[in-house]
A and B are shown apart, each in its own frame.
Chain A
């Protein structure tokens, strides 16, 4: 069962909220939002020709067998792309903007592989690269949290942080 994945129908309010370990697709100019990215990564995809857009909020880089796919970068992005393709998007046209993946704390559990935030960013690049999708803008790493809004009409990704306010990717 997909506990937190919303098979979101077109939102009447024009805003679709993407939870954690969740993703959503819009083909009708809605705004996709997600908040509270710390080490988590937000992957915003946009097909400029059809206006189909998608946003995923993943917690960890790689899925194990039988785990909830939307929680992980590799499986979550794959599902997001499939859902966008189902409503007319094409990976030849889709571009990506990514944000998040920060390292806010220096936990004792972090081993030689680097922080979860860094690993999330690396897994995102690898996964997108596998689909031939270019990352055209990014705001990743650092030690602060972010909230995102993807404007499906323009493909603009608004990134909000506590200290530096909002900027557009």
Chain B
């Protein structure tokens, strides 16, 4: 099976217009304005997706689909968002009551309408018929979040099964309700869609999977380097490669203030990296590097720059090895600003020559949330394609 940028664009458009239909049906049903924030085509391992569900304690409703296309759709909420949505649908109902049956059935109803609308668009595009199953509500902690997602993925010669996930971030009622609409098609169905959109110049899907593993390795190295430098025990929570309309890149961040560094890297590929901490994490980093000292702002900045340097080289060194190339890194520039505004100039610079971006994002954190570090890398699309070719099994 091969994938190319053109079919990824088709995927992205279909997913976005499907999500807009789904958002529109919620607006009509519940009378609350619902927006599609970002649509991403993500490539990761099944366990990445499962970790995210577990980490965020997500409540979800699952609907399978089969026929012309096979796979699974999931509407996932944080428990707070689920509660607010139920309250908007049925004011006065206690969503946390012992059995919660009413809350459950209203979320199932929402999912049925939204996911049904989402799938219809894909069926129309492929001129086929797709049947959907009845919704299943999942909040059982003993249940693996993807246990019911029987969509088989594809392997990359390794142990980890990769899946292509279409993920739409939606929000309603002034950001009070946030949720994600996921679609996980089977490997065979991805093939069906790629075929329908033409696969000129396509690369084997395994090379995307190999790249995704390279990102994982880079994030793991960066996490180990941070731990070695600060003495704070960190792990990689999530690490993924996604394909996003360029304007969706800054929109995947909130306007919360972040501190960190931005760097340029050059080679094959070249691009930008931002390493961002929320403010408490930046404080923790600075004090662990300046133990027992009342550091002034300049010292704090240089501590953040130093950790940015370490993290970047940990993250990128493995790429250079895997791609048999050298990647040069510019000196880190300290930033302290609105998160989405930090990423905006990076995406805008690439927007001069590309409409979509491959966004790499990894989160490194401690178990107790004392410290969270987000790494965003935005490689130049054409150069990344070259790099992916290098990783093709035939290369």
A6–B170 Cα distance when bound, in Å, is 14
Minimum CB–CB distance from A141 to chain B (whole Å) comes to: 13
- Flag whether B338 is at the interface (Cβ < 8 A): yes
Answer whether A104 and B349 are a contact pair too, CB < 8 Å, given A4-B245, A17-B35, A36-B251: no
Q: Which residues of B contact A163 (CB under 8 A)?
A: 336-337
Answer whether A12 and B31 are a contact pair too, CB < 8 Å, given A38-B250, A116-B348: yes
Contact B340 A13 (CB under 8 A): no
Contact B344 A145 (CB under 8 A): yes
- Flag whether B365 is at the interface (Cβ < 8 A): no
Partner of A35 from B262, B338, B349 at Cβ < 8 Å: B338
Q: Which residues of B contact A145 (CB under 8 A)?
A: 337-338, 340-342, 344
Q: Which residues of A contact B339 (CB under 8 A)?
A: 36
- Flag whether A15 is at the interface (Cβ < 8 A): yes
A116–B349 Cα distance when bound, in Å, is 8
A117–B336 Cα distance when bound, in Å, is 18
Answer whether A104 and B340 are a contact pair too, CB < 8 Å, given A15-B174, A59-B247, A147-B255: no
Q: Which residues of A contact B248 (CB under 8 A)?
A: 4, 20
List A118-169 residues whose CB lies under 8 Å from chain B.
144-147, 160-163
Q: What are the interface flags for A13-28 relative to B under an 8 Å C-beta threshold, 1 for contact and 0 otherwise?
A: 1011101111000000
- Flag whether B189 is at the interface (Cβ < 8 A): no
Q: What are the interface flags for B1-33 relative to A under an 8 Å C-beta threshold, 1 for contact and 0 otherwise?
A: 000000000001100110000000000000111
Q: Which residues of B contact A146 (CB under 8 A)?
A: 338, 341
| Interface Cβ pair total, 8 Å cutoff | 122
Contact A59 B351 (CB under 8 A): yes
List B336-372 residues whose CB lies under 8 Å from chain A.
336-349, 351-352, 355
Answer whether A36 and B33 are a contact pair too, CB < 8 Å, given A1-B13, A4-B247, A60-B351: no
Q: What secondary structure prevails in chain B residues at the interface with A?
A: mixed
Residue of B nearest to A15 (CB): B174
Contact A162 B338 (CB under 8 A): yes
- Flag whether B199 is at the interface (Cβ < 8 A): no
- Flag whether B173 is at the interface (Cβ < 8 A): yes
Residue of A nearest to B249 (CB): A20
Contact A60 B352 (CB under 8 A): yes
A160–B257 Cα distance when bound, in Å, is 11
A20–B347 Cα distance when bound, in Å, is 11
Q: What are the interface flags for B100-118 relative to A under an 8 Å C-beta threshold, 1 for contact and 0 otherwise?
A: 0000000000000000000
Partner of A1 from B17, B255, B347, B348 at Cβ < 8 Å: B17
Q: What secondary structure prevails in chain A residues at the interface with B?
A: loop
For this complex, into which size category does the number of interface residues on chain A fall? 35 or more
List A55-109 residues whose CB lies under 8 Å from chain B.
59-60, 67-68, 71, 102-109
- Flag whether B333 is at the interface (Cβ < 8 A): yes
Q: Which residues of B contact A43 (CB under 8 A)?
A: none
Answer whether A35 and B33 are a contact pair too, CB < 8 Å, given A59-B351, A60-B352, A109-B349: no
Contact A13 B251 (CB under 8 A): no
Contact B340 A35 (CB under 8 A): yes
A142–B109 Cα distance when bound, in Å, is 49
A116–B264 Cα distance when bound, in Å, is 17
Contact B262 A105 (CB under 8 A): yes
Contact A13 B247 (CB under 8 A): no
Contact A39 B348 (CB under 8 A): yes
- Flag whether B123 is at the interface (Cβ < 8 A): no
Contact B342 A104 (CB under 8 A): yes
Q: What are the interface flags for B232-251 relative to A under an 8 Å C-beta threshold, 1 for contact and 0 otherwise?
A: 00000000000001111011
Q: What are the interface flags for B313-339 relative to A under an 8 Å C-beta threshold, 1 for contact and 0 otherwise?
A: 000000000000000001001011111
Q: Which residues of A contact B352 (CB under 8 A)?
A: 60, 116
Residue of A nearest to B20 (CB): A6
Q: Which residues of B contact A105 (CB under 8 A)?
A: 262, 333, 345-346
Minimum CB–CB distance from A21 to chain B (whole Å) comes to: 4
Residue of A nearest to B352 (CB): A60
Contact B255 A35 (CB under 8 A): yes
Contact A12 B344 (CB under 8 A): no
Contact B338 A147 (CB under 8 A): yes
Q: Which residues of B contact A68 (CB under 8 A)?
A: 355
A144–B333 Cα distance when bound, in Å, is 13
- Flag whether B37 is at the interface (Cβ < 8 A): yes
Contact B336 A162 (CB under 8 A): yes
- Flag whether B253 is at the interface (Cβ < 8 A): yes
A103–B262 Cα distance when bound, in Å, is 14
Minimum CB–CB distance from B70 to chain A (whole Å) comes to: 26
Contact B337 A144 (CB under 8 A): yes
Contact B173 A13 (CB under 8 A): yes
Q: Which residues of A contact B342 (CB under 8 A)?
A: 38, 104, 145
Q: List 8 A-B contacts (CB under 8 A).
A: A16-B33, A20-B250, A35-B255, A60-B352, A104-B337, A146-B341, A161-B338, A162-B337
- Add 14 more A-B contacts to A20-B344, A35-B340, A162-B336 (CB < 8 A): A3-B245, A4-B245, A11-B33, A12-B31, A12-B33, A16-B33, A36-B343, A38-B341, A39-B348, A71-B247, A102-B345, A108-B266, A146-B338, A160-B338
By a beta-carbon cutoff of 8 Å, the part of chain A in contact with chain B is: 1, 3-4, 6, 11-13, 15-17, 19-22, 35-40, 59-60, 67-68, 71, 102-109, 116-117, 144-147, 160-163
